[in-house]
């Protein structure tokens, strides 16, 4: 059964725009859980332009669902994750100044680096997922690096979906089947929405988790947070 993890970065972006504590990021995370989210995702960056390292520390003892921290494994990020010990860490290849995640790992080129970092986290009992593009070769080398899961980078799927859903999903099904064959868990995220999420889950029914932030928070402006989470959750539960 696919789980819905809500990324609350955009809530922190809104808070940081004015300073203070409105909206209250911690309370929103707890409300997401109360409204049915299966997990909470945060992506702290070194400049703390949205989620702050202090948010991550404060969230850990409060959450009752799965806590997923994603980010580039720089020294400060690694130290934070080892201190907090979330349920899952998702490693992304973002350089420090990038606006948002826009590519998956080249797991061939960075094999040695990823194996070392993954080993560090797994030694602390933290499940490790690698953010990869829909390429069976990248999935295969994620497994060789020791990852527990891969997260498929779904922006290309979301971009192509309106014009041709069947063609949009094709490479993702192939990558997903490779992950399944190798015994890897399977997550997905980036630009998933109420429009395209249902078809993704229908065509890849063995997805473990989807992580959704931007579209979900945008929808909540019109629908309200509780109704929005219910709608997204119903799509991941339809199978």
Distance CA 131, CA 91 (A): 6
Distance CA 46, CA 56 (A): 13
Distance CA 196, CA 135 (A): 20
Counted domains in the chain: 1
CATH number of the domain that 146 lies in?
3.20.20.70
According to the model, what pLDDT value does residue 98 have?
56
According to the model, what pLDDT value does residue 95 have?
65
- Which of 169, 190, 104 has the alpha carbon at shortest distance from 141? 104
Q: Domain range spanning residue 156? A: 3-236
- The question of whether 43 is a catalytic residue gets the answer yes
Distance CA 84, CA 153 (A): 25
Mean pLDDT of 29-54: 96
pLDDT in tens, 94-137: 766 555 566 899 999 999 999 999 999 999 999 999 999 999 99
Distance CA 202, CA 156 (A): 18
Distance CA 157, CA 197 (A): 10
- The question of whether 116 is a catalytic residue gets the answer no
Catalytic residue among 50, 141, 190, 233: 190
Catalytic residue among 43, 50, 141, 233: 43
Mean pLDDT of 184-210: 97
Q: What percent of the chain has pLDDT over 90?
A: 93
**pTM (two decimals):** 0.95
- The question of whether 209 is a catalytic residue gets the answer no
């Amino acid at each position: 059964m696919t789980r819905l993890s809500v990324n609350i970065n955009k809530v922190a972006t809104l808070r940081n725009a004015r300073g203070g504590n409105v909206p209250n990021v911690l309370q929103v995370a707890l409300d997401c859980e109360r409204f049915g989210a299966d997990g909470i995702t945060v992506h702290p960056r070194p400049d703390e332009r949205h989620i702050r390292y202090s948010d991550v520390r404060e969230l850990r003892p409060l959450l009752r669902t799965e806590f997923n921290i994603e980010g580039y494994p720089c020294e400060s990020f690694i130290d934070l994750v080892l201190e907090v010990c979330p349920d899952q860490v998702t490693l992304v290849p973002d350089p420090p100044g990038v606006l948002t995640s826009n590519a998956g790992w080249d797991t061939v080129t960075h094999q040695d680096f990823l194996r070392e970092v993954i080993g560090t986290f797994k030694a602390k009992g933290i499940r490790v997922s690698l953010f990869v593009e829909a390429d069976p070769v990248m999935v295969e080398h994620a497994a060789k690096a020791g990852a527990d899961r891969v997260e498929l980078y779904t922006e290309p799927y979301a971009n192509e979906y309106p014009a041709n859903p069947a063609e949009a999903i094709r490479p993702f099904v192939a990558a997903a089947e490779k992950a399944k064959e190798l015994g890897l868990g399977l997550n997905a995220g980036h630009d998933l929405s109420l429009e395209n999420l249902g078809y993704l889950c229908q065509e890849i029914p063995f997805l473990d988790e989807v992580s959704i932030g931007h579209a979900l928070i945008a929808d909540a402006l019109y629908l309200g947070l509780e109704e929005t989470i219910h709608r997204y959750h119903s799509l991941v539960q339809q199978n």
